[in-house]
Structure 1
Amino acid sequence: MSFVSRRARVWAGAALLLLACPAQAAVKGKVRLNLASKPVRAALLDLALQADLSLGGDLDPCRGRAPAILGRLRVEDALDLILSGSGCGWQRLEDAAFLISPTRPQPARPLSKPVPLVSPPVALGEVIITAQRQPNLPGRTPFAVSVVSSDQARRAGLGGLGDLEGEVAGLSTTHLGPGRDKVMLRGLSDGAFSGQTQSIVALYLDETPITYNAPDPNLRLADVERVEVLRGPQGTLYGGGSIGGVVRIVTRKPDLDTASLDLTASVSAAGGGGFGKAWEATVNLPLASGRLALRAVGYGETRDGYIRNPALGLRGANASARKGGRLSLRGQVSRDWALTLALTGQSIATDDTQYGFRRLGPLVRDNLVREPHENRFSQASLTVSGQGSWGAVSASAARLRHRFESRYDASGVASRFGLPSGPAAFDEAKKTDLTVAEITYSTPSGATLSGLAGAFVSAGRTRTRSALSGLAGPQAYGEDRDDDIREAALYGEGTLKVSASLFLTAGVRWFDYGLDARSRVTQGPGKRRFDGVGNESGFSPKLLVGWTPIADVLVYAEVAEGYRAGGFNTGGRLDQAFDQDGVPARRYRPDTLWNYELGVKARGWDGRLQTRLAIFEADWRSIQSDQHLGDGLSYTANIGSGHNLGLELETSWRVSPRLDLRAAALVSNPSLERRDPALDARGVALAGINGALASLAFDYHRDLPGGHRLRALGRLRYVGHGRLDLSPDPAARTPDYIEGAAALTWEAGRWSLGVHVDNLFGRRADSFGSGNPFHDPKDAVVTPLAPRTVTLRASSRF
């Protein structure tokens, strides 16, 4: 029996089991809640988290203390219990969205009969976030944060973090290929390649990090609750590697009561030929009602390539495949304590990179060697959480394994390494094994002084093996490098309510970082060894002032610092010099980024309009950037100090009950002001997206007879000029461009069928992505957008 047939039987058996399960109907319309007695506002946020709801309106006027709630009941009844005597009432906006507003005085009423509201029920709902380790509404959180809900991701067909471009203000990625990209925020970048430097944007899966000095593993956004995006340095709560911000994927947790099955399948066709297919399945099985449940997610996808290589007789050279899954086990140990065990795994394989040569056209190149890539990610995590009238505790431990292997065509530099002319390749394999543990405690909400405290430890090893050789000959150059990494930190934040409208937040993180690096370089019969030890410690502070002059306006001012640890340069040919003018330093220094920000968040038109505006200034010192020597080998340099002044805007407007509009924009100007004297004359500009990023999107739905619904979505995105390296030459910048996407979906209860179109206008613009460091830099490289792709997607829920 083949693997495919076994898998088909497993899913078919699960579907029959779920459809026959009588428990599903018994709990329909009810959710299991475990809410401690706390202030009404905090209880509403906990309810929204546990029931997966969005809330609109104003929660702040709701007074008093909500009773403890334990057990299964309807959301409407839970809202009645929480809001009883608070001076607030509720009204349903959508299936999983509720409007909370002050009420007119009313006589006593039975449960589940909403009090009439002052505002009409067309307000926008907000998805609760927990990125700051405490639940809150994005519109009432005093920093630059965005959230992409599960519904938004599903309707727009978002498959990975790269698809968030255009959905979130200021978020962009490189376009090196699946499993190779780096995430950027606010147009700020340390370069397009991933080398030894730690990422500037920290990526998290639930409570644990998923990258260190590696590209985005491009986890498929399968069965997620939301994606949270925090901009600016987050050193206080998230430590090193978050100087640009944090992107956090929050997965759905097992449902302790309801059995369910979700299935999705799609086929796609790209302009100029090439097809793709994908499937995704999620099953939830309660093992002991109310106490223990299992949730499993599986997926797979394949895509044909769109790059031609006539030199090797290849069409669709850059085909790719991705497969993976997640298994979660959740247990309710007691009323106050729960634990979740999660296993995640994914692999990506691409047959070639996705750049072309300008002299041949954006979709054509003539490499002598193919450039495949593999990215394999796995993680096991255990989280224990508890909450009560005493506050909340979360403790997590995780083991991460990240493997990625790349090949580059090195034929152009073969002679520099003593090889005869002809095909040559540079192969690099990096393996990271990382263990992390963290514990946080947050005080009860609603007090005049509240806060949180936490501790973090991590230990890991990164093994890097690189080799340059002829395809039919011996190895001409190689390096074996091992890095042992360890970090410990203590951190805390406190918030003081000075008055009903003014509050202060201060935070600090103490960190201690250690690195042991061992390297052996071989070139022919020669060898060079290096052993280095580095230790760093310090503090990362944050200070924030928030003010609500009126109920629908929040103004905040923030100063925060982020940092990255330093490291060692070990690669290069045996005659490579270090620590001299114009050559790499043996040790590169830590870098820090101070962010100064003034922001405003406002609601208007009875909650139909929500806006966030932020003006920021970033002062980036001793910038670490991965660079390349003339022979293509990489090193890390402190390129100098940089500056970025920008303005960021996000707006959501519910034009009518049927139509929502979203707009986002970023205008920034990253620049390199004080160049490091060790760099050559190139070093007078800072890599990144220069000028602007902007997007405009709509979501329109219309109800049809029979309970059906037709939904149309569209998006336009403008991407400003990009600068891939430090060159000031305008010709080296990538051009600006506009691209679009659209979707039309028919929804009928448990079923939906949709058509999605990406790269709507068929643009072949040169995007932010580098080619091959071993190529002649005079041979201009183009990294085009993927061709127009039409996808037919069907899904069902049981």
Structure 2
Amino acid sequence: MRRLNGIFAGTALVAVIATPSATWAQDADPAAPDEIVVTAQKREQRLIDVPSAVTAVSGDALTQRNLTRIEQFAAFTPGISFSEGLTGPQLTVRGLNASGQGATTAILVDDVPLTSSSSYQQSTTPNFDTYDLERIEVLRGPQGTLYGASALGGLVKYVTKAPNLSRVEGSAQLELNHVDDGETGGSVRAALNLPVIQDSVAIRVSGLYERLPGYIDNPLGNKRNVNSGERYGVRGALLWQATPDFSVRLSGIWQRDDRDAPVSIDVVGAALTPATPPENATSIANRGALQRNLRLGEPIKRKSQLYSATLNYDVGFASITSITSLAKMNFQRRKVLTHYNAAPGVTFGDVLSGAYGQPVDIRSNDFTAVRRINQEIRLASAPDSGPIDYLVGLFYTDEKSSIAQFFDVTSVTTPPEILTLPVPGGGLSVPARYRELAGFAQLTWHVLPTVEVTGGARYSRNRQRSQTTRFAGFVSQSFVDVTDPASKTKEGKATWSGAISWHPAERVTLYARVATGYRPGGPNLVPAAPPPGYRTSYGADTTVNYELGAKGELFTRRLTFDISAFSVDWTNIQIPTSVVDPDTGVPNNFTDNGGKARSRGVEYALRLAASPQLSFFVNGAYTDAKLRAAVPSIGGLRGDRLPYVPTFTNTAGFDYRVPVGGDATIFLGADWTYVGSRNSDFVVGGLAAPQTGHERLPSYSTVNLQGGVELGQHRLDLYVTNVGNARGLYYYLSGDGAGGTGNAIVQQPRTFGVRFRSNF
């Protein structure tokens, strides 16, 4: 804490002493940004008043910079890092990432949690389109008090636009783009707001269709641009203002994301020696060409649905809010396992070819589904109603999920033939259920007009059940269908938070915060005869976050700043491990608790409106996230960096607007993002069959350019993303490639685009 105190003291000293009293004026300069209001604490507040680290990206900013997906806006948020495995996107806040399967960052839409509480459902994390959003809020640090489970490191909240009761408005956008050495893609997006009964009932609808261009070739399968795909969806809302004090809002989102193959390529890898990889293990194979050599395809399909009803009733001294929601998320994938290690240097293809007496391929057909019902009701005191603000509430969730995996063993002939002799590939099915009831409360005491103290607590109780059925087959190691005993767990968890904030000026906040978070434990998939050392369940892992920060607006709001220093202790970490059955020699994988980690760092975001035409921005983070104790089961040593967490990230850029007469304005913009080196996962697949060995992924920089013209309500953009054609890697496996190569997820190459948008 002494290191944090020193950092914070220096920050506060510069912010307060270097600014003369005249700069505290409340009148904003014409170049200043619009006021940002957020709901991070489940009530509307100015962003600069929230006593914690929060980043808000407005819908207009998302549209202007074409930030339509998680991986794009993550670069504009300090303290958040993006990686993408073979099952989908993963966000890490403040470095809290290990080799476990469960999410450490929660995803919400309008206070509705979407992240599965099960450790087996990370592949269902949605990646919603950002068109026609009000804003995206990123809350850094544990949020267990108000948001509960899985907000271990922080959360991302999509805030949708409410229907406008008094005005018809809308927008439409057309886009065309082309990827270097790849395909041409494009999109159509539109939104419409329509009052049905003036000042009483209105609807808002938006939709999109996007063709995702491919740019990865498969010479072995004689196919080009195999990772092409499409994305389409619709979002709608109805708002009924029944009385000045009572409103009902019904909302729905439906989105589909399909790709013919993941964004993965062959790298040099270390399939034969995963524990001692060569220096160029993460270098792109095939002379630098973006290729993935497979005989079979690996299509991916993802569908996300959310339906909610929000009731608000103002009773004078307080407001009552009820949120009822249903979320459905489905994920389907075909994954070629032919080149996956069964043991170092021995692939599943090698093993099965011997068993079937001919060269074979093996492919898994994976299906995951989540259906989650949530109910939250809360009571919040009216604004400015006294020296104490309060918020109390109850939360209930009932989540049913299922995982199914079926294996096809096929000949290498054209077309391939599914082999069933001597036995079929087999498979398994795992239905599960998670139920949770929680109560929470938060109080804010306005000690002085400029000093506030906030404290809160939450207690959650969950019950879980899962059961595995293994279908006869070679891969599932069974000649008959077997249903294992049901696994059940119960767990209670308390989380809390506290903060003190001081406003030395009307638009400046200095704060200190302590908060806790957790990720639920749960049952393991217990075999009928578990070997010695097999754990039938695992417990919750927890975080404690210590934070000091300063945020505000200076020089008539032309300079905005948000700086925080943090230290997070992570204990009882959920980790994958395995034990070998002494009778069969087969490794049995399960989740266990072990080890501890600490993440320390500094986050910063600055924006300067140098003039009404020109503004500059910079944001980034220094994060030192390491294990504090060895974790032998995953090959982790004390002092090892946590996976996929860069020590340093930074984004800087500018926006320039020049009126040229009438309604016409020319604009230019550029941004540069640096992502430091990271390490891949600790051992994945168990020490008996390692798939990676914590390799170092090189740093990379990305430059984006855009420019165009605005004519009243119309806007034409020209842009280039990844100008330098960087080859940043998001994910790495030491094997899994044909010919003993590795596998990695790569960022999209240089892309040229044109976009036209019209508002009305």
Per the TM superposition, whether the score is higher than 0.5 is yes
Partner of 1:468: 407
Give unpaired runs (5+ residues) of structure 1. 1-98, 103-116
Aligned partner of 2:390 among 451, 455, 464: 451
Q: 3-state DSSP class of the match of 1:204?
A: strand
Report if aligned partners of 1:682, 1:727 keep a CA contact under 8 Å in 2: no
**Alpha-carbon distance between aligned partners in 2 of 1:622 and 1:437, rounded to the nearest angstrom:** 29
Secondary structure at the residue paired with 2:747?
coil
On the 8 A contact 2:78/2:605 being kept in 1, the answer is yes
Write out per-residue CA displacement over residues 94-137 of structure 1, whole angstroms, 9 at most, x where no aligned residue.
xxxxx9955xxxxxxxxxxxxxx5x6443333311012111111
- Residues 166 and 716 of structure 1 are in contact (CA less than 8 Å); yes or no, is this contact kept in structure 2? no
Which residue of structure 2 lines up, in the alignment, with residue 791 of structure 1?
753
CA deviation string 1:25-53 (max 9, x = no partner): xxxxxxxxxxxxxxxxxxxxxxxxxxxxx
Q: Is 1:768 the equivalent of 2:730? A: yes
Q: 1:579, 1:706 → 2: CA distance?
A: 79
CA deviation vs aligned residue, 1:401-420 (integer Å, no higher than 9, x gap)? 10001121111314546555
Rounded to whole Å, the distance in 2 between the matches of 1:629 and 1:780 is 26
1:372, 1:182 → 2: CA distance? Answer: 19
Compared CA separation, residues 406 and 682, structure 1 to 2 (3 A): farther
The partner residue of 2:565 within 615, 619, 635 is: 615
Cα contact 2:531–2:579 (8 A) shared by 1: no
How far is the alpha carbon of 1:383 from its aligned partner? Answer: 0.5
Classify 1:629/1:380 alpha carbon distance in 2 versus 1 (closer, same or farther; 3 Å): farther
Contact kept in structure 2, 1:617 and 1:643, CA below 8 Å: yes
The number of residue pairs the alignment matches comes to 674
Which residue does 2:8 correspond to in 1? none
The answer to whether the Cα contact below 8 Å between 2:561 and 2:606 also exists between their aligned partners in 1 is yes
Task: Give the distance between the partners of 2:579 and 2:361, measured in 1 at CA.
Answer: 20
Which of 430, 433, 437 is 1:488 aligned to?
Answer: 437
Q: Distance in 1 between matches of 2:126 and 2:244?
A: 36
Q: Could you tell me which of 358, 365, 368 is aligned with 2:295?
A: 368
1:726 to 654, 666, 682: 682
Question: Which residue is 2:698 aligned to?
Answer: 735
How far does residue 551 in structure 1 lie from its aligned partner after superposition?
4.1
Residue 595 of structure 1 pairs with residue 545 of structure 2:
yes
2:565 aligned counterpart, secondary structure: strand
CA contact 2:24–2:506 (8 Å) conserved in 1: no
CA-to-partner distance for each residue in 1:686-713, whole Å, 9 max, x for gaps?
2131311111021111112121111111
Please give the alpha-carbon distance, in whole angstroms, between the structure 2 residues aligned to 1:757 and 1:633: 48
Partner of 2:221: 312
Asked whether the 8 Å contact 1:520–1:530 carries over to 2, the reply is: no
Matched residue, 1:40: none
Give TM-score scaled by structure 1 length: 0.80
Distance 2:200 2:735 in 1: 55
- Distance, in Å, in 1 between the alignment partners of 2:647 and 2:740 is 25
The one-letter amino acid paired with 2:323 is S
1:468-509 Cα shifts (integer Å, max 9, x gaps): 221312342311101111011100100112222222111000
2:106 maps to 1:168: no
Whole-angstrom distance in 1 between the partners of 2:294 and 2:483: 31
Say if 2:542 and 2:570, in contact at 8 Å, map to a contact too. Answer: yes
Measure, in 2, the Cα distance between the counterparts of 1:267 and 1:513: 48
- Give the number of the structure with larger relative contact order, counting CA–CA contacts within 8 Å between residues 6 or more apart: 2
Root-mean-square deviation over aligned CA pairs: 2.6
1:642 aligns to what? 597
Partners of 1:411 and 1:421 within 8 A in 2: no
1:739, 1:763 within 8 Å by CA — same for their partners in 2? Answer: yes
1:578/1:492 CA distance change after superposition, 3 Å = farther
Query: Is the 1:355–1:362 contact (alpha carbons within 8 Å) kept by the matching residues of 2?
Result: no
Q: Which amino acid aligns with 1:794?
A: F
Change (3 A) 1:289 1:376: same
Deviation at 1:727, TM superposition (A): 5.8
Is 1:518 the counterpart of 2:467 in the alignment?
A: yes
Structure 1 window deviating more from structure 2 (376-385 vs 408-417): it is: 408-417
1:332-354 Cα offsets, whole Å, 9 max, x none, are 11111111111210111110111
Among candidates 728, 744, 748, match of residue 782 of structure 1: 744
> What pairs with 1:479-628 in structure 2 (closer than 5 Å)?
479-522=428-471, 523=476, 524-526=478-480, 527=482, 529-570=484-525, 578=531, 580=533, 585-625=535-575
- C-alpha contact (below 8 Å) 1:376/1:402 kept by paired residues: yes
Instruction: Please report how far the alpha carbon of residue 603 of structure 1 lies from its aligned counterpart in structure 2 after TM superposition.
Output: 2.7
Check conservation: 2:613, 2:657, Cα contact below 8 A.
yes
Residues 187 and 362 of structure 1: is their aligned pair in 2 closer, same or farther, counting only changes over 3 Å?
farther
Q: Judging changes above 3 Å, is the alpha-carbon distance between structure 1 residues 388 and 364 closer, same or farther for their aligned structure 2 residues?
A: same
Which residue of 606, 615, 619 maps to 1:651?
606
* 1:757 is the counterpart of 2:720: yes
Q: How does 1:65-104 map to 2 (within 5 A)?
A: none
Point out where structure 2 has 5 or more consecutive residues left out of the alignment. 1-22, 268-284, 340-347, 411-417, 581-585, 685-691
Contact kept in structure 1, 2:487 and 2:525, CA below 8 Å? no
Q: Distance in 1 between matches of 2:460 and 2:200?
A: 38
Q: Is the 8 A contact 1:321 1:348 kept in 2?
A: yes
How far the C-alpha of 1:669 sits from its partner, in A, is 1.2
Alpha-carbon displacement from aligned partner over 1:483-541 (angstroms, at most 9, x marks no partner): 11101110010011222222211100011111011111233414351311111112101
CA distance in 1, matches of 2:725, 2:587: 33
| Equivalent residue number for residue 240 of structure 2 | 331
Determine the C-alpha separation between the residues in 1 that align with 2:703 and 2:578: 34
1:394 correspondence with 2:321: yes
Question: How far has the Cα of 1:457 moved from its partner?
Answer: 0.3
Cα distance in 1 between the residues matched to 2:58 and 2:579? 43
Name which of structure 1's ranges 338-347 and 472-481 shifts more when overlaid on structure 2. Answer: 472-481
- Alignment match of 2:361 (pick from 410, 423, 428): 423
Kept after mapping to 2: 8 A contact 1:578/1:585: no
Report how far residue 424 of structure 1 moved.
0.9
Distance 2:469 2:734 in 1: 24
Secondary structure, aligned partner of 1:333: strand
Maintained 8 Å contact 1:596/1:617: yes
State the AA in 2 paired with 1:422.
Answer: V
Aligned-pair CA distance for 1:555: 1.5
What SS does the aligned partner of 1:674 have?
coil
2:275 match? none
Matched residues in 2 for 1:408 and 1:537: separation? 37
1:202 aligns with 2:110: no
> SS of 1:163's equivalent?
helix
**Are 1:703 and 2:659 an aligned pair?**
yes
For residues 541 and 560 of structure 1, the distance between their equivalents in structure 2, rounded to whole angstroms, comes to: 6
Contact 2:627 2:641 in 1 (8 A): yes
Quick one: structure 1 residues 279 and 454, their matched pair in 2 at CA, closer, same or farther if it must change by over 3 Å? same
Match of 2:688 in 1: none
Q: What's the secondary structure of 1:181's corresponding residue? A: strand
The range that moved more, 563-572 or 738-747, is 563-572
* CA distance 1:295–1:240, shift in 2 (3 Å): same
SS in structure 2 at match of 1:762 = coil
**1:488 touches 1:512 (CA, 8 Å); kept in 2?**
yes
